[in-house]
Structure 1
């Protein structure tokens, strides 16, 4: 039995608030329990409390789901799989590449993909700039990797001509948008509501100027 099963009602409530099916809760809790167990030995995330992980990792990652479709996504600097693994669980038609250069985190990712049976996710143990799959992805995301310009510097080559960067950010993005390199432009900013999180979150969408 999952040791975090007591969190299922809260997770189901959060999923409902995000307009996601409650039936996703058991697999998401399986991932959370695996992360919690590995975190005690390998320090994969600074958040130690499973309930806090539920809000700040699972629900925060899933808040962007409405803007992700059955596409090819590269999650850069994914760490323990955020937001890539929750999105792969919620969106079976989404093909997710989990890009992570840290060896212990990459080992955890491979184990999580295996244990969860995620046929739509694969692990690339590599720095983002070294991934030799130019133009292979419709989307890239990076939850806590860098500012917008920095993400594009290491991962922009992975995007197809129509591709988009989806970046989770706080309340102010003006300065980062002003730093965008030539050829890239702001496409949209979506306000996100994360159940249980008392903080402003926005999804910033960046595309090539020709596609924005």
Structure 2
């Protein structure tokens, strides 16, 4: 195993994530591709591959149990504001029986995603170079997620047309976003938080949280 693979395996073990040798290899290949492209295209402020393991890969995998719970095999989820493919591509590697769409409006980031998915042989990922408010898919998504939106109010409002009636939003945040939830409730009282989880990410300092939301009609069903 390479040093990156050893580091990733250790972090996954610490977090209770079962990682196969193939998944480990693919995730580290993704990091190596990101390092290579980042030198020219400035895709992420994180430069060091070891830091990418903790701050990008393990951070993305911290929500894996909740994605497995919310998205059944064969169902579709959308990663909005995916940047270089986070958390969508790591989750696609871990969940090959789920259909993943990654959306970003920045062309250099989606071009990297396409190249990475081709190099890694990922057939369950659809890369979308779109503005989220202008994207109208043929079929709505079971889950819409993001780790990049600055405001939950903006995330829910701008992606509302993309989520199935009984779908869920998964919002990755730093500290528990109580002020954002209050702001959201003021403008969208029809959306409610159903779960909030503190996330432990190996090698990362600072708080991380996942907030899961539904429309009120769904929550009452």
In the alignment, is the contact (CA less than 8 A) between 1:134 and 1:159 conserved in 2? no
Of residues 162, 166, 177, the one that matches 1:162 is: 166
Displacement of 1:20 after TM fit?
2.0
Quote the residue 1:11 is aligned against: 8
Q: CA deviation at 1:17?
A: 2.4
Superposed displacement of residue 119, structure 1: 0.7
SS at match of 2:92: helix
Name the structure 1 match of 2:18: 20
The structure 1 segments of at least 4 consecutive aligned residues displaced by more than 4 Å after TM superposition are: none
8 Å contact from structure 1 (residues 78, 100) kept in 2? yes
Using the TM superposition, give the Cα deviation of residue 93 of structure 1 relative to its aligned residue in structure 2, in angstroms. Answer: 1.3
Deviation at 1:135, TM superposition (A): 5.9
Structure number having the greater helix percentage: 2
1:146 offset after TM fit, Å? Answer: 2.4
Check the 8 A contact 1:34/1:112 in 2, yes or no: yes
Task: Please say if residues 73 and 139 of structure 1, whose CA atoms lie closer than 8 Å, have aligned partners that are also in contact.
Answer: yes
TM-score for the superposition, normalised by structure 2: 0.90
Q: Hey, what's the Cα distance between the residues in 2 that align with 1:22 and 1:7?
A: 14
Match of 2:212 among 182, 205, 211: 205
Secondary structure of 1:92's match?
coil
| Contact 1:16-1:22 within 8 A present in 2 as well | no
Counterpart among 90, 96, 99 of residue 94 in structure 2: 90
Q: Residue 41 of structure 2 corresponds to which residue in structure 1?
A: 42
**Any conservation in 2 of the 1:135–1:157 contact (CA below 8 Å)?**
no
In the other structure, the counterpart of 1:152 is 156
TM-score normalised by the chain length of structure 1: 0.94
Separation (CA, whole Å) in 1 of partners of 2:144 and 2:173 = 14
Given that 1:185 and 1:207 are in contact with CA atoms closer than 8 Å, whether structure 2 keeps it comes out as yes
Q: Does the CA-based 8 Å contact 1:134-1:157 persist in structure 2?
A: no
* Structure 2 counterpart of 1:59: 58
Residue segments in structure 1 that go unaligned for 5+ positions in a row:
none
Give the secondary structure class of the aligned counterpart of 1:145.
coil
In structure 1, what is the Cα distance between the partners aligned to 2:113 and 2:89?
Answer: 9
Instruction: Name the SS for the 1:80 alignment partner.
Output: coil
Query: How much does 1:40 deviate?
Result: 0.4
RMSD, aligned α-carbons: 1.4
Question: For residue 179 of structure 2, what is the aligned residue in structure 1?
Answer: 175
Gaps of 5+ in 2: none
Q: 1:93-127, CA deviations, whole angstroms, 9 ceiling, x for partnerless residues?
A: 12110101101111111101111111110111101
SS in 1 for 2:218: coil
Counterparts of 1:82 and 1:20, CA distance in 2: 19
The CA distance in 2 between the partners of 1:5 and 1:130, in whole Å, is 42
Q: What CA distance in whole angstroms lies between the structure 2 residues aligned with 1:15 and 1:40?
A: 27
